[in-house]
Structure 1
Amino acid sequence: MRKKTCVVTGSSRGIGRGIAERFGNEGCEVVVNYRSSPEEAEAVVDAIESSGGSAIAVQADVTDVDQVEQMRAEVHETFGPVDVLVNNAGINQDILFKEMSHEDWDVVLDVHLDGTFHCTQTFYDDLVAAEEGRLINISSIVGKGGNFGQANYATAKAGIFGFTRTLALELAREGTTANCVAPGFISTQMVEELPEKIKDRIREDTPLGRLGTVEEVAEVVAFLASDRSSFITGEVIDVNGGKDL
C-alpha cells in the first residue's frame, strides 16, 4: 500500500482514526477528514507523521457536496488522485421510533447515506483511474439486526450494504473493488461511556466474550485496501466477535 493516497472520512476519532493511523503505518498518504474537530484531526496527522507516514487534515461536512468537492481539490493539490476511499463518517441520534422526529431521522440518514453518496461520486473518477482503486464503506452490525431506539441508524447502515454491492457491480469492469466492513461493538469512547451493566450484557452476548478493538477493525480495512484483496468485491465483512453465531 506504500504511497497510495487514502481518504478516510470522519477520521479524527474512533474507528476512523484507527483506520487512518493504520494506513499511515503502511506508508500511505492519508487524508484525515473531519467536520468540526480540527485539534483532534491534527493530532491524528501528528501521529501518522511520527510513524513515518504522510498526512493532511481536511475539513469537510460530507453532507455538503460543495465542501466534499473542495476537499477533493485540496487532496489533488497535495497528493494527487485518490486510490482508496473509506466512507466512515457517521453519527447516531438514538430515540424510540414513536418519539422520533423528522429531524432525528434526516440528520442520521444525511450523514450516512448522503455523505457516502457525495464522497463516492466526487472521488469516483479517481477510484476508476487508479491502478487498483478501493472503495470501502463502514457499516455496522446494527444494519443487520436492528437495535432498540436506533431505527434511523439501522436503516442508514442497512442501506450501505445495498449501496456497496451495487457499486461493486458497476466498478468491477474498471478493476476497482467495493467492499463493506460491519463492526460489532467496538471499544470506542461512545461504547465505553455505556453503563457497565450494558457492556457486561454485550460481552455475554458475544461468543468471544469481549468488545472488539479499533485496531482489529482497521486491520480488516487495511487488508481490503491492499492488493492482497484484489479478487474480493461486493462483500460485507463482519468484525463482531461471532455475534451472529
Structure 2
Amino acid sequence: MSNENRIAVITGAGSGIGRATSIKFAEHGYKIVVVDFNEVTGEETLALIRRNGGEGLFVKADVSKVEDVKNYVNQTVDTYGCIDVFFNNAGIIQKFAPFTTVEMEEYDRIMDINVKGIFLGMKYVIPVMEKQGKGAIINTASSAGIRPEHSIAVYSASKHAVIGLTKGAAIEYANKGIRINAVCPGGIVTPLFKSVGETLEKTGYVPEEMSRVRMGRHGQPEEVAEAVLFLASDKSSFMAGAIVTVDGSLTV
C-alpha cells in the first residue's frame, strides 16, 4: 500500500526518537502531525520535514491535559480527515535518586506524562480509528519497562504501565482493525539520554548498578524509527500487543 495519503500523528516529535520518526515517516510519504510541548523544537521538526519535500502541521500540546489531546486529534481530523498511524511517544525521564528521596512532584510529573499521556492519546485516537475500521498505534515504553533500572523505580513503573496499557487495549481492538503495539528503546542517544549524564554529574549521585549495552555502542534514534515504521506498516499486519525491544541487548 502506498503511504502517499496516509496520516501519522507523532507526539514528542520535537526531538530525539519523535523527530527521527517524523522525518523517517515523511520520507516514506506520510503526512505528519508533529505534536510537542516545545513550540520551538516542534516547528524545527516540521521545517525539516518540509525541507525534505514532506508535508505536515505542528500542534502544541501537553499530552497530560485532556483538552490538549482532544485538540491535536481534532486538528488532525479537521485537516486530513483521518489518522492512519499514531506514534504515542512523548515521555520524560526520572532523575536518578534513592527510592525514598523521590518527591511527590517528581512522581506526579512522570506518571502524568508517561502514563496519563499514553492513556489519553489512545482514548481519543481509538474512536477515530474505529470509525475508519483500521489504524496502527505504537506506544513508546522502554527497556526499563521490561527490566527495571537501578535508582529510577518510578520511571520504570511508568513504562511497565505503558506496556500494560498496550497489551490491554490490543486485545480489545485487535478484531476491529486496530493494531496496538509498543516499542521499548534502551540506550538510545537522544537529548533525554544525554541529560541523564548531566544530572548525575550535577547531583553527584551514582547508582550502585548501571546497565550495559553489550553491542559496544549506543543506539541512534533512526534505528528506533525503523522499528516504528515497520510496526505501522502492513508488513506487521499480524502483530498486535507486541512489545518490541530496540535496546542493544539491555534487557537480555
Settle same-fold status: TM greater than 0.5.
yes
Unaligned runs of 5+ in 1: none
After TM superposition, give the deviation of residue 124 of structure 1 in Å: 1.0
1:241 is paired with a residue whose SS is: coil
After TM superposition, give the deviation of residue 167 of structure 1 in Å: 1.0
Instruction: For 1:21, give the aligned amino acid.
Output: I
Q: 2: CA distance between counterparts of 1:227 and 1:49?
A: 25
Alignment of 1:154 with 2:156, yes or no, is yes
Alignment of 1:4 with 2:10, yes or no, is no
Unaligned runs of 5+ in 2: none
Q: 1: CA distance between counterparts of 2:170 and 2:61?
A: 25
- How many residue pairs get aligned? The number is 241
Match of 2:242 in 1: 235
Match of 1:39 in 2: 40
Q: 2: CA distance between counterparts of 1:27 and 1:168?
A: 26
After TM superposition, give the deviation of residue 131 of structure 1 in Å: 5.3
Instruction: For 2:148, give the aligned amino acid.
Output: G
Alignment of 1:221 with 2:228, yes or no, is yes
Q: 2: CA distance between counterparts of 1:184 and 1:123?
A: 26
Deviations 1:41-91 (A, max 9, x none): 111111111222211110111111011111222112211221111111111
Contact preservation (8 Å) 2:39, 2:60: yes
Alignment of 1:74 with 2:81, yes or no, is no
Q: 1: CA distance between counterparts of 2:131 and 2:246?
A: 30
Match of 1:114 in 2: 116
Match of 2:88 in 1: 87
Contact preservation (8 Å) 1:127, 1:135: no
TM-score normalised to structure 1 length: 0.92
Contact preservation (8 Å) 2:150, 2:210: no
Identify if the C-alpha distance between structure 1 residues 242 and 46 changes in structure 2 by more than 3 Å, giving closer, same or farther: same
Instruction: For 1:182, give the aligned amino acid.
Output: C
Deviations 1:206-229 (A, max 9, x none): 221100010000000001101111
After TM superposition, give the deviation of residue 202 of structure 1 in Å: 6.9
Instruction: For 1:32, give the aligned amino acid.
Output: V
Contact preservation (8 Å) 1:83, 1:126: no
Contact preservation (8 Å) 2:146, 2:251: no
After TM superposition, give the deviation of residue 29 of structure 1 in Å: 1.0
Instruction: For 1:40, give the aligned amino acid.
Output: T
Correspondent of 1:209 among 213, 216, 223: 216
Aligned-residue CA RMSD in angstroms? 2.0
TM-score normalised to structure 2 length: 0.90
Match of 1:124 in 2: 126
Contact preservation (8 Å) 2:92, 2:192: no
Match of 2:106 in 1: 104
Alignment of 1:61 with 2:68, yes or no, is no
Q: 1: CA distance between counterparts of 2:190 and 2:71?
A: 30
Instruction: For 1:114, give the aligned amino acid.
Output: K
